[in-house]
Amino acid sequence: MKTMIKTLLATTVAVATLSVAAGANAAVVVNITQAGADVLATTTGTLNLAGLSADPSFTLDRGIYPSVAYVATGANDGAGVTGYAGLTGGAASFGPSSTYSVATSGTGRSFAINGSGFGTPYVFVPTNYVSGTSLGGTSTFAGQTLASLGLTSGSYVFRSANDTVTVNIGAAVPETATWGMMIAGFGMMGAALRTRRRSAVSFA
C-alpha cells in the first residue's frame, strides 16, 4: 500500500515537473515578487515572433513604469533591442503610479513589455534574438516593495498570434497545464486508493 502511494506520488511529481518545463519553454513569463527587502522581476521562457511586426528603433531602459504597464529585465541599460507590435489583451497599466523606477541591478538577456497605456502594446527582445530561443533575465529593485513601486497584484496575459507573455505581480502563478497535470495525478492516487480498499473488503 505504502509502496503504491509512493510510486503514484513520484509519478505525479515527475509529470508535473515535465509540464512546468514544457510550459516555461512555450511562452514568456515575468514574475514580479517581493524578495525580502527588495522587489525582483524575473523573466523566463521563449517567444515565437511569428505574426509580430518589428520596429528596431528602441533602446532598453531597465525598470518598471506601472501606469503604462511597462517592465524590463536584463543586464544592460541601453542595450540594443527590437520592439514588436501585434499583441492583444494584457493591461493598460500594472498600477496607478506614474513614476518610473529604475532597477538597481540586472542579469541575463534584455526583455521588456509595455501595455496599451503606452499607446500600442510592444514586446522587446535583443536585436539579435532568434525566435523560439531561451529568454532569461532579472531586474532587482533594492529597498523597494510592490506598494512603493505602485504595482497592483494580479496576472496579466498578453497574446500574439502564436504565443503569450504573462506578467504575474505579487506571486509566481503556476501555468494552467501544470495545475491540470497535478489535479489529474491526485485523481489517479485517489482512484488507486479506492480500488485498493474495495479489494481489501472483497477478499477479507
Distance CA 24, CA 168 (A): 14
Question: How much of the chain, in percent, has pLDDT values that exceed 70?
Answer: 70
Number of helical (H) and strand (E) elements in the chain, helices listed first: 2, 14
Indicate the range of 65-79, 106-120, 141-155 predicted with least confidence: 65-79
In sequence order, what are the residues at sequence separation of 6 or more whose Cβ sits closer than 8 angstroms to the Cβ of residue 70?
Answer: 63, 64, 94, 112, 113, 114, 115, 118
Tell me what pLDDT residue 172 has. 58
User: How is residue 170 written as a grid cell?
Assistant: 505579487
Does the pLDDT of residue 135 top 70, yes or no?
yes
Indicate the pLDDT class of residue 118, thresholds 50, 70 and 90: confident
Quick one: which of 51, 61, 13 has its CA closest to 163?
Answer: 51
Place of cell 495525478: 185
φ and ψ at 115, to 5 degrees?
Answer: -95, -170
Kindly list the strands in the beta sheet with 105-108, ordered across the sheet, starting from the edge strand earlier in the chain.
88-89, 154-159, 164-169, 28-35, 38-46, 134-141, 105-108
pTM of full prediction above 0.75: no
Confidence of residue 182 (pLDDT cuts 50, 70, 90): very low
